[in-house]
Structure 1
Amino acid sequence: MVRWWWVRHGPTGRRDMNGWTDVPADLSDTDRLDRLADFLPAEATVISSDLTRAITTADRLQRDRARLPNEAGLREINFGAWEARSFDDVQAEDPRLVRRYWESPGDVHPPGGESWNDLSHRVGKVVDWLTGEAGDIIAVAHFGTILTQVQRARGCTPTEALAQEIDALSVTCLVWNGQGWSVDLVNHHP
């Protein structure tokens, strides 16, 4: 049995479509970070997305845990031409596409960006590759990244997955039993 302890990076304060834009995390709540680090299994291996907000959060949680190289495959969804823009700005530009993107996630993608299915495939490849290779894994990543794996474990639709909250510095624990995935914790706050 392998457990993936997904941790969403620290808050960024951003309210735009922030996927691949490399912004820092606010890690000033040291008490909360200490509680989170204490909660996570001491023997797990740490990995993170290669974006700064995930790297610095993982660095803060690592302690004496082994660390794998940062992984681009664990990045947030690529919003392409919508990247780092407000929802209102993008909505004004192409309201039909934006509506389809959020209401029917799957194969719809922003100009030059990824669809939900693209993100799920990219993250799934990394998870499949690492599961069983390093024992339990603490993966510091992003809202969409984590939700693709919640969707996988629950066998739900993208729309159902996107209805799930994943807060900054929350823990989602998914379990691989050798034959399938199950959900242990979602959006847990230690």
Structure 2
Amino acid sequence: MFKSTQFDLLRHGTPALKGVYLGRTDSVLSAQGAREVLAAVADNPGWDLVVSSPLLRCLDSAQSISEQWGIPLLVLDQLQEYDFGDWDGQAFEAVYAQHAHLADRFWQDPEANPPPNGETVAQFMARVQVAKSLLLNREETRILVITHGGVIRAMVADLLGVQPLQWSRIKVDYACFTQLKFDVDSRHCWPQLVSSNTRSPF
């Protein structure tokens, strides 16, 4: 059986909490961020499911969109942002002032140098893969996924074979879409990057 599924990955809007390692730390959107998302989803190109990270900067928008378009909402814990461990919620400057060598090593090679008590890249990738598999096994064919910059980069990197050291080269702006298409049969999956970092899902 052949099936084609498209993920319209939407990064949440600008959060109220900025300038910090914003991973598992919960933050609502700023007023600007809420407006950004409303503009991005002003029209429905054919979504039959909304999927969201449980964090409020994604979930608040997802609930509104689900109600607006009358389509189901699914919340997946696996779509949460990367867990920065002891640094999560702390200002970039404060972490660098106290742990400059650790911060430098993390940004130079995140795979080998996770933050103290933070998630490893392998753990992060594994749970994002679980989310992808769950969605590909559903009946819906055009899925709006509201999630985080790290999750979107991980999905794109996996599709294109980009190593973690180069993930920062994948631009993912607030309230922008990255679209992935998966053509699947009983034995194979043919993935394709349809668009990257666009303001419109059309």
By the TM > 0.5 criterion, same fold?
A: yes
Give yes or no for contact 1:8–1:168 (8 Å, CA) kept in 2: yes
Counterpart residue identity of residue 141, structure 2: G
Structure 2 letter corresponding to 1:154? L
- Distance in 2 between residues matched to 1:166 and 1:105, nearest whole Å: 18
Q: Runs of 5+ in structure 1 lacking a partner?
A: none
Alignment of 1:173-188 (within 5 A): 173-178=179-184, 179-188=189-198
Aligned to 1:22: 26
Partners of 1:151 and 1:161 within 8 A in 2 = yes
Q: SS in structure 2 opposite 1:6?
A: strand
Corresponding residue for residue 10 of structure 1: 13
Alpha-carbon distance, 1:88 to partner: 2.1
**Helix, strand or coil at the partner of 2:41:** helix
Residue 50 of structure 2, aligned match among 34, 46, 53: 46
Match of 1:113 among 114, 118, 122: 118
Which of 149, 160, 168 is residue 155 of structure 2 equivalent to? 149
Contact 1:175-1:183 within 8 A present in 2 as well? yes
| Higher strand proportion (structure 1 or 2) | 2
State, as a whole percentage, how many aligned pairs show the same letter: 23
In structure 1, the residue matched to 2:165 is 159
User: Partners of 1:52 and 1:35 in 2: how far apart?
Assistant: 18
Aligned CA distance change for structure 1 residues 29 and 88 (closer, same or farther; 3 Å): closer
Paired position in structure 2 for 1:170: 176
Q: CA RMSD in A?
A: 1.9
Q: For structure 1, which segment, 134-143 or 35-44, has the greater mean C-alpha deviation from structure 2 after superposition? A: 35-44
Give the superposition deviation at 1:54.
0.3
2:74 is aligned to 69
Give 1:59 shift. 2.3
Pick one of 40, 46, 50 that aligns with 1:36.
40
Contact 1:7 1:141 in 2 (8 A): yes
**What SS is found at the alignment partner of 2:74?**
coil
From the superposition, tell whether residues 40 and 102 of structure 1 become closer, same or farther in structure 2 (CA, over 3 Å). Answer: farther
The offset of 1:118, in angstroms, is 1.8
**Aligned-partner Cα distance in 1 for 2:43–2:159:** 22
What's the secondary structure of 1:177's corresponding residue?
strand
Local SS of the residue matching 1:108: coil
| TM-superposed deviation, 1:169 | 0.5
Cα gap change, 1:65 to 1:151, in 2 (>3 Å): farther
Deviation at 1:92, TM superposition (A): 2.5
Conserved 8 A contact 1:152-1:181: no
Deviation of residue 6 (structure 1)?
A: 0.4
Alignment CA distance shift 1:65-1:138 (3 Å): farther
Give the secondary structure class of the aligned counterpart of 2:73: coil
Number of aligned residues: 190
Structure 1 residues 92 and 29: CA distance shift in structure 2, 3 A: closer
